[in-house]
Amino acid sequence: MNINLLTEAEVSDFLGKSVITLARWRREGYGPAYVRIGRSPRYRREDLALFMQANCIAPGGVSAS
């Protein structure tokens, strides 16, 4: 197992979003960056961190990025 790449199921568990939501985000050009290994999307840990940083909302509703 490559510790730097996470499967769709692992990211789904981590973010608390369904695999279907992740697929929709990819179609819509939203969500964390990913790479394709064959037909399977894989997510790098650093891309998940960047996605979370970009979507962080500070108290008062102000974007933290």
Q: What pLDDT score was predicted for residue 1? A: 53
- pLDDT per position in the chain (65 positions), as tens? 567 899 999 999 999 999 999 999 999 999 999 999 999 999 999 999 999 999 998 887 667 66
Q: How many CB atoms lie within 10 A of CB 55?
A: 13
Residue in the structure block whose two tokens are 């964390």? 32
Please state, in angstroms and rounded to a whole number, the distance separating the CA atoms of residues 57 and 51: 12
Burial class (CB in 10 A: 0-12, 13-18, 19+), 8: middle
Cα 29 to Cα 22, 39, 42, distances in angstroms: 10, 17, 15
Q: Is the pTM value of this prediction over 0.75?
A: yes
